[in-house]
Structure 1
Amino acid sequence: MGHTIANQLSNKTVYPILFIIGTCHLLNDTLQAVIPAMFPILEKSMGLTFTQLGFIAFSLNMVSSVMQPVIGMYADKQPRPYALPIGLASSMLGMAGLAFAPNFRLILFSVLFIGLGSAIFHPEGSRVAYLAAGPRRGLAQSIYQVGGNSGQALAPVITALVLVPLGQFGAVWFTLIAGIAVFLLIHIARWYTSQMHVFSAPKKRKTEGSLSKKTSNAIRNTLIVLVFLVFARTWYTSAISNFYAFYAIENYGLSIAKSQVYIFTFLIMGAVGTFLGGPFADRFGKRNVILLSFLAAAPLAIALPYAGPIISIILLGLLGVIIMSSFSVTVVYAQELVPGKIGMMSGLIVGLAFGMGAIGSVVLGSFIDWVGLTPTMITISLFPLLGILTFLLPNDQKVREWYTD
């Protein structure tokens, strides 16, 4: 009976759950977006140095990065549905601390709570999307991930509309956003709990331990290539998100406010690309979408440092759509590559993106100090060419064959 129900549910996409978890992802990542959005406020009100600001960003991303695969691995063995609202409660506590923190140390302490909340939310949220996906795993992961990318894109809006007029105390309003997310995630946790016995039903698939040594090695090598591709994509997007505004100011003579238009264009179109990638992967294959997202972006990325102020906005919009179309797809590919470790794989791929972004910000910032903005942008524009390594990934059919008789 349980196995029959599992088969029925696996063929049905639960859209209400997907839209709620996607909304929660938007709310969660909006909270994270408050932190870099607050940097100009903290720099003025507390006199923080750029090194201190960088350390705040590094701490947030690294806590989230390191903890995500660890929490995902633990949850694969012992799922904890109510970890979702608990994680957002941690972020809510951190956001309240951020609003009232009188010094750098307490700001850093508050940020750690937000990073921990994010680390708990992401792998479990991705698992909920996986369970609610039915046969449309690419679409389901896109709905989930587009919420997060949209939340990240709100940073310039948060700065202009909330933090500039209200200052550091304005962060207190985001505790309400966290509270809404906690409320929605309690509903998600109830649904998740009700499905646990269904999705633990046995499946007619090989387990990781029953695979041949040759197949196990192939899976390991594939995962290494996939991680490297995530590294290349994340460093490129980190360079644009963190430093292109400075490039626009230096080369186009723009104000700080006007330079944010370039970043917002890239981020919001990246959210569009994140959503489109999943359905395209369901139709045309995950490896094909990953390959296209890199190689189609490469000529645009190479042209960007030489473009004028108008053309560059168009290029950034196209780059956002194309290169971010593989974001959710790489998560699904990793989950199907190691199907028994859904939380760990999603935590690894998404957490890796956070961690690589943090490290990339430090390395690229140092490179800019060493050689300048324009040489750095020219160098980083070559990174999408590394997508040629996608040819080393097996196609979707080959991955399925590894786990079927």
Structure 2
Amino acid sequence: MQTATKHISPDTAVTSGVETTGFRVLGAISFAHFLNDMIQSLILSIYPLLKGNFNLNFAQIGLITLTYQITASILQPVVGIYTDKHPKPYSLALGMGFTLVGLLLLSIAPNYGLILLAAALVGTGSSIFHPESSRVARMASGGRHGLAQSIFQVGGNAGSSMGPLLAAWIIIPHGQTSIAWFSVAALLAIGILWQIGNWYKRKRQEATAKPAKSGHAHVLLPRKKVVLSISILLLLIFSKYFYMASLSSYFTFYLMSKFHLSVQDAQIHLFIFLFAVATGTVLGGPIGDKLGRKLVIWVSILGVAPFTLMLPYANLFWTSVLSVIIGVILASAFSAILVFAQELVPGKIGTVSGLFFGFAFGMGGIGAAALGKLADLTDIYFVYQVCSYLPLLGLAAAFLPNLEKLPHEVS
């Protein structure tokens, strides 16, 4: 066993100052995540409107998602690495400022090029928001890391689920310019994130004023095993988010084409799916804290395969039922995967969070673009048949180590 040193890393410092789970802070960062992802989900939710207004094909629709996701994907690891060394408590509010500008530009964009620019600005805001907000959640966790990440994540997923409803109720009837009304939500989020920045700053000052407490256990694994485990986790993220792209970006088109639903009715079905995703997110973290994260990862990715394989052949009723089951099971994985990765690489919370959020966004964007092109070349039904096999990659989870059974060191 190693004893604690007087050196205080950013993550150790802020964590050591938190004795109990800070539910007020977790609630605030979760609500900010709700507002952030609600705004971002509007991009996906207004695809039918944009497709009609600008005469876009599926490949161009996919490129919008790709622009947004890739911007977030490339920048998030960079932001995470930088803030591990130089924490920026008020960067959260700054990130939301980029989202606000992108939202306003989207509301007045007269052509496809400016729509892509607006999507890039929203992606930039997301790239700044997620690594640092994930660090805040861990700081306030009081050691209950899975629970904290689930509370944080459920805010984002609940916000994403609201996008289709808001689009159906407000944007579709009133047109593209009504997107600007949601700038109020962005301004509210900036105010909340500024207050969270104040808390973040105080905690760092308190932590650096006294030595770090001992008792932080780190998993002992060879470097090669860590690299292999991270690679497996990224493969599982690929499986999850490539499949999620087929539902989040094209589910409304699938329902409208196969079952002849109206745009508003299809948006309601998308909301039901996204709400199921939010529900699943709540479950994954706490179950992982109690039963082990590897079990949650295994069940979440591979366990959803029978339902995804049935989805392309179901009628409307069973499509709705299966989408709920898929959303709940598949969404439970991310919190467990993220905390698992953070435990593999201790002291690098921002880097790990940026890598996994960024990779998830990137896979979602690439998936949306690739699946859009595939839909143009074939049809939307074939896309869902192909994607139904992706969860079988969950078999790779068998090669992950059981962290709870491994030796630890205390620093």
TM-score (norm 1): 0.91
Match of 2:374 in 1: 367
Q: Is this contact kept in 2: 1:142–1:276, CA < 8 A?
A: yes
**For 1:107, which of 93, 110, 115 is the aligned residue?**
115
Write out per-residue CA displacement over residues 251-272 of structure 1, whole angstroms, 9 at most, x where no aligned residue. 3343333333332222110110
Structure 1 segment 259-298 matched on structure 2, within 5 A? 259-298=266-305
Structure 1 pair 259/165, CA: closer, same or farther in 2 (3 Å)? closer
> How many residue pairs align between the two structures?
401
Match of 2:238 in 1: 231
CA distance in 2 between counterparts of 1:6 and 1:369 reads 50
The Cα shift of 1:273 comes to: 0.2
Which amino acid in structure 1 is aligned with residue 273 of structure 2?
Answer: F
Write out per-residue CA displacement over residues 327-366 of structure 1, whole angstroms, 9 at most, x where no aligned residue. 2111111111111110111111111111101111122223
Which amino acid in structure 1 is aligned with residue 364 of structure 2?
Answer: G
Supply the RMSD in Å over aligned alpha carbons. 2.7
Structure 1 pair 293/252, CA: closer, same or farther in 2 (3 Å)? same
Residue 23 (1) aligns with residue 31 (2):
yes
Match of 2:146 in 1: 138
Residue 86 (1) aligns with residue 64 (2):
no
Structure 1 pair 308/121, CA: closer, same or farther in 2 (3 Å)? same
CA distance in 2 between counterparts of 1:90 and 1:327 reads 25
Match of 1:315 in 2: 322
Which amino acid in structure 2 is aligned with residue 151 of structure 1?
Answer: G
Higher relative contact order (CA 8 A, sep 6+): 2
Match of 1:389 in 2: 396
User: What residue ranges of structure 2 are gaps of 5+ in the alignment?
Assistant: 1-5
The Cα shift of 1:51 comes to: 4.3
Match of 1:38 in 2: 46
Match of 1:254 in 2: 261
The percentage of aligned residue pairs carrying the same residue is 38
Match of 2:347 in 1: 340
User: What residue ranges of structure 1 are gaps of 5+ in the alignment?
Assistant: none
**For 1:58, which of 56, 61, 66 is the aligned residue?**
66
Which amino acid in structure 2 is aligned with residue 159 of structure 1?
Answer: A
Residue 243 (1) aligns with residue 250 (2):
yes
Which stretch of structure 1 is more off in the superposition, 250-259 or 330-339? 250-259
Residue 353 (1) aligns with residue 365 (2):
no
Q: Is this contact kept in 1: 2:13–2:207, CA < 8 A?
A: no
Q: Is this contact kept in 2: 1:248–1:254, CA < 8 A?
A: yes
Structure 1 segment 157-176 matched on structure 2, within 5 A? 157-176=165-184
Structure 1 pair 252/103, CA: closer, same or farther in 2 (3 Å)? closer
Write out per-residue CA displacement over residues 265-286 of structure 1, whole angstroms, 9 at most, x where no aligned residue. 2211011000111111111111
CA distance in 2 between counterparts of 1:275 and 1:357 reads 21
Which amino acid in structure 2 is aligned with residue 318 of structure 1?
Answer: I
CA distance in 2 between counterparts of 1:370 and 1:43 reads 17
Per residue, is there more helix in 1 or in 2? 1
Q: Is this contact kept in 2: 1:9–1:134, CA < 8 A?
A: no
Match of 1:77 in 2: 85
Structure 1 segment 299-310 matched on structure 2, within 5 A? 299-310=306-317
